[in-house]
Amino acid sequence: MNRRNFLSLGSASAAIALLPAAKVKAASAHTPCSQLSELPAPPSPETTKRLFPGFVAGTVQTSGASINVLKGGEGPPLLLIHGHLETHVTWHKIAADLARNYSVIIPDLRGYGDSSKPDGGERQVNYSFRAMAQDQVETMRHFGYDRFFVAGHDRGARVAHRLCLDHPDNVLKVCLMDIAPTLTMYRDTNKDFATRYVWWFLQIQPFPMPEHIIGNDPEYYLKEHLAVQGKTPGAVTPEAMAEYLRCYCCTGTIHAACEDYRAAADIDLEMDEADDKAGRKVSAPLLALWGGKGVVGHLWDVLATWRAKAASVSGRALDCGHLLPEEQPAEVLAELQGFFRG
């Protein structure tokens, strides 16, 4: 089936019926899923200059994808990896400050933002955290960096976890934001977690059902998702939200995001289980940060989950929800500077 047309299946009324009554009128007013473009509209250079002063945008061709990336600053190399629904823009509040002391590389994950959206392949292997981690190594190598610091949020933190396991010699230190290990979270799934993280279970369903449901009103899905995850009103600025909407509200990104989640519930778990069986752990010093008002810290002892997976772990909760770099940028900045400098 052609991806360009996959969201034209069925009637929008089925998905709208799933929404609360108060949302139906608003949902009906949005662009029908069959009319979504396949790819995001081109980015605005002016927006990049405003959000990331001093950074230069470019594209790196890896062995599996075309990666949109920003580079700025001077000093030791630091890779920042964003999470689900968002793009590299999630780092805009702290990037310029970090660039005073680091050479900062900020990509869009494959499938997200303005990076390419390759076919998922068998068992969605091309959206496995292994494939996305390989993109990061090749992107950093493109800029001449073989060893570097890494900070990842949400899906980006899961990519960073896999990066540490598959490429231990490349990672100096790693900061993982608001996650527990993927295998741990799926093994511990209960009603509370399934209710709060519904997208973990919607987006792993076979194509095209989740794509069709999300595609009927992707703006509502994205905004509601971020509103539920974040606990600091206004933390996502209007300009950042506009960028998230530009990049997410198209069939290519919606499908890629679902392929990411399908891989995480299948082939990624197999890789994690193999690492556990072999006794492989993260060897780089690991800083875990999480939102004290969020789901992960409420349902898991975050430090304990990572001490089972890594040799050296420190960290703490911040006074916010899930969106740490946007809800608590000053604290995140201070934590990263202290950790990577120490």
* Spatial CB neighbours of 333, under 8 Å, sequence gap ≥ 6: 94, 97, 98
Give the active site residue among 108, 114, 135, 154: 154
ω before 238 within 30° of 0 (cis)?
no
Q: Can you read off the two tokens belonging to residue 188?
A: 């511990």
Per the DSSP assignment, residues forming a β-bridge with 289 are 177, 316
Strand, coil or helix: what is 120?
coil
- Residue 82 annotated as catalytic: no
d(CA 152, CA 287): 11
Provide the terminal-to-terminal Cα distance of the chain, rounded to the nearest Å.
52
CB neighbours of residue 145 within 10 Å:
18
Strand-by-strand arrangement of the 77-81 sheet: 56-61, 66-72, 103-107, 77-81, 148-153, 171-177, 286-291, 313-318
- Residue 212 annotated as catalytic: no
Q: Alpha helices of the chain — where are they, by DSSP H?
A: 12-16, 21-28, 45-51, 95-98, 129-142, 155-166, 182-187, 191-196, 199-202, 209-215, 218-229, 238-248, 251-264, 267-278, 295-299, 302-307, 324-327, 329-341
- CA contacts within 13 A on the Cβ side of 330: 1
Give the active site residue among 82, 84, 153, 322: 322
With vertex at residue 235, the alpha carbon angle to CA 181 and CA 213, rounded to the nearest 5 degrees, is 65
- Residues with a known catalytic role: 154, 322
